[in-house]
Structure 1
Amino acid sequence: MKSKFLIFSIFTLVLLVGCTKPNIVEVKEPHFVGEIIEIDTNYTRFLLRSTDSTINPNKRGEIWLSVSSDSQMINQNNKSLTFDNLQMGMIVEVNLVGGIVLDSEPQKGTVKDLSISRGEE
């Protein structure tokens, strides 16, 4: 009887732990406006210091934004850009894939589309 209770307890524990959801926040577009302060070429991502956010207006700060092959990026003349065109100091407007950001420190998300507001050479 004790072994059945033990097996049942372990099964329940595994089921509960396996079903927890990551802490995510869903937001509406546009998601971020800010300055690129670091570029990580190893992981095709950049660190944005947010000056405006619809995610949580009271929680402005930094967010790592990954760029994928599906990310659409344009410059001030509406010409297509690649990750290699991004530079530190650029002011950009960013929308996230699915409007979802991982609520970590710093936050993380994936670029759906990006446009440069200022700082392009």
Structure 2
Amino acid sequence: MNTQDRPAVPQQQPGDDDLEPRLPRGELREMAVSVIVTLGLAAAIAATGAASSGVPATVLLLAAPAVVLIGALVTGSRAYGWWRTGGHWQIWQGGMWLLLVIFLIWVMTSIGIVLAE
């Protein structure tokens, strides 16, 4: 094998066209940390609301899904920013959709709990 047949990237095989870009581990880790911190903060607020009673409990139980919605909007804005710069915006969009689905489930559950009180 001469130097002309060697791939530019060691993981590539000769003749591999590399149609799909490599997944950047740093961006994926950053998005995962963002989603985990958002969900952790919302869970802490919900736990505090579950431990209290009365109006503060209602406010805290409804504030927890609001935190998830704000996290989804922030993640969506980061996806837009990465799209504008030509980066890997799909990673952030996936995190946004995950948070939006969790928000919908959480807000419907919270409304049911609040109305049952």
Q: Relative contact order, CA 8 A, sep 6+: which one is greater?
A: 1
Q: Which structure has more strand as a fraction of its residues?
A: 1
Q: Quickly name the TM-score band, shorter chain normalised.
A: under 0.3
Which one has the largest radius of gyration?
A: 2
TM-score (norm 2): 0.27
**Higher-helix-fraction structure:** 2
